[in-house]
Structure formats: C-alpha cells, structure tokens
Amino acid sequence: MRRMVAASGLVMLVACSAGPTTDGASGTGSPGATVPTATQPVVFPSASEPRISIRSMEGKLVLSDETNDIWSMRADGTEVRRVTSAPAMEFDPTWSPDGSRIAYRHQTGDDETTEIFVMDADGSDQRNLTRNDVADWGPAWSPDGSSIAFNSAMGTAGLGLLGYTVSPSGSRPHRFSRHYVEYPAWSPDGSRIAFMAQEPGAAGSNPDYNVFVMNADGSDIRRLTRTPGEDGWPAWSPDGSWIVFSSARDDCSISDAPDCRTTGDIGPWQDVWIMNAHGGHQRRVTSEFGQLFSWSPDGSAILVAGADEMYLIRPDGSGLTPFPVEGVPHPLFPDWID
C-alpha cells in the first residue's frame, strides 16, 4: 500500500503506478520579489551505483510509526526505542539542536485537538506548549534552540493556517506571518523559513500547493514552485544551498505524460524533487514515492518516508537504499541530527 500525508491533516492509505516531467520555473509570492529561474534536465543515475551504507551513517533519528507513537534511534539502524506510548496520536517529531528534547504533535481527536508538545529525549516531562482549541502542527525547532515554529489556526477564524513560533517553555507565542503557512522548515542559519502553502481555490484530491520561503520575521515572501498540484514538505540541506521537497506534478491528474503516475486511490502520486535555495534548478531525484524528508548531517544523503518504508538516496538520485526500522512498520516524519 502507498501512504500519503494529507497537507492539512492526518495520514491516509493509498496505492500505486509510474512517471516524470521537469519544471525549473520559480517565482514570487509577493509584489516586487524576484527569484532566479532555471531548468535542468532529469538525469537518471546508473543502476550500478553502489547503495548507501546504513551502518556508516552517523547521528540520531526521531520518527513516528505512522501517527501512533514516536521512536528514536541511531542513524546506523541500531538502538531503536519507543519514546511515547499513549492512546492519543503522537507524531510529527523534531529534535532540539542539542538532541536533549523533542517537540511533536499530540492529537486526541480531529484537527482541532492537535497541540504542540515537548518532552525530554527519553519521553519524560511531556508538556503542552499551545493549549488552545484550534489546529496546531508541523513543529520545527529553530537552529539556535530558542523557539519552535509551527502552523496554527489561531486568529484565522477557521479560514486557514498561519505561521507561529513559541519558546520551548510555552511562553512568547508569536505570529510571524499573515501568509498561509504549513510545515515550516528553518534554514540552517536560522535566517529563513521554507514552507508549503495553499493557492487560492485549491481543492480536490491533488490541491494546488506551492513551496515558499520567507525571512524568519515573515518578510520577503517568495514563491519557489509554480506547478499545479501539491508541492510541499520542504527540507533544507545542511549547508542551506538546496531544498528537497515532495511534488505531485507527475500525477496523472495533472500530467498527460505517457509515463505519468497514479496512486490508484484518494491522494496523488508524490515523488522527490530538489531545487536550489532560490527555487532554481528544479529536478526530480527519484520517481519512487516520497513525501517527508530529512538530510544526513553531512549532506551526503536524504532520508525519505516512502510508500511502505523509508529509504536513503543521494541528492543526485543515486544509491537508493531501503531503510527498514525494526519494530516500526510505518515510519514517517524523520528528523536527523548529528
């Protein structure tokens, strides 16, 4: 079964099939802002490229078993341990920069019960940071450890989601943008935030989302992708020069290419794309299903939450390597630190 994360909610199960196209268009999300444009042909790596050695991977990971519970592990595949165990859905985790704490989504019912929680790395001292009756999710810890960005329906009267930050203690909640924001992602230097956002009139099984970037204070909003369908879930490379993201531009609902793909179910086919930090040189990394990402700390590999398990792949598309996690049948939302 193929799995897809709804842009504005939970996890759905979907099925499969195959396809591509390239798009180098990038543009502006605010009047007067300009973004370089470029195109780059898709280059498929040789099938003889060696796989990535999981045992050589360094650092540690946090992830969730679908939306059930949060797990941590070493990046070499060892020391897998369950961190949470509760009737509520606990998922969407993010490490503090020093690895001592984890922020995550805690959800007891529908979207309106979703809160941002934080806990120690061993699962102790769980605390609710948001304490409201609206949707809050997509936590992302700032590189300096001083705040956690997330998207929230606070102050929107049910009309959408905005970007907020909150301190790890739950103090100083602050709205940083009036623009629609989902799944914010900090640049490594903390100066910018990439995010996905609905376009006006977005609807259907493959709604129109694009990837944007803004300064951390909410200024200078720029749209980086322009294709129909869902582009989203951006993740910065460790040096801040590249952004990997998921795109549904190859789904047959919007692509008439002979090798377009379909899940055969509710959600669209989403595969892995990469672009530079300005939105240029957009190219597909792999036509395998992929939606949620984390880079290795050295930038040599990308960990992808795929159809039925995670996999590693190099940024050039070579070395695709299955990454099974013992005891975690449906790994999602990986976050990797050194």
- Calculate ∠ Cα 144-147-151, nearest 5°: 130
Query: According to the model, what pLDDT value does residue 171 have?
Result: 94
Nearest to 265 by CA among 205, 200, 336: 205
Query: According to the model, what pLDDT value does residue 158 have?
Result: 72
- Which tokens in the block code for residue 122? 């061993």
R_g of the chain computed on alpha carbons: 18
Band the pLDDT of 22: cuts 50, 70, 90.
Answer: very low
pLDDT at 1 over 90: no
Band the pLDDT of 265: cuts 50, 70, 90.
Answer: confident
Query: According to the model, what pLDDT value does residue 249 have?
Result: 97
Place of tokens 């897809």: 4
Query: According to the model, what pLDDT value does residue 8 have?
Result: 64
The answer to whether the predicted template modeling score (pTM) of the entire model surpasses 0.95 is: no
pLDDT at 13 over 50: no
Band the pLDDT of 5: cuts 50, 70, 90.
Answer: confident
Model pLDDT for residues 146-182, shown as the tens digit of each residue:
999 999 999 888 778 999 999 999 998 999 999 999 9
Query: According to the model, what pLDDT value does residue 159 have?
Result: 76
Quote the distance between the C-alpha of residue 230 and its chain's center.
Answer: 12
pLDDT at 334 over 80: yes
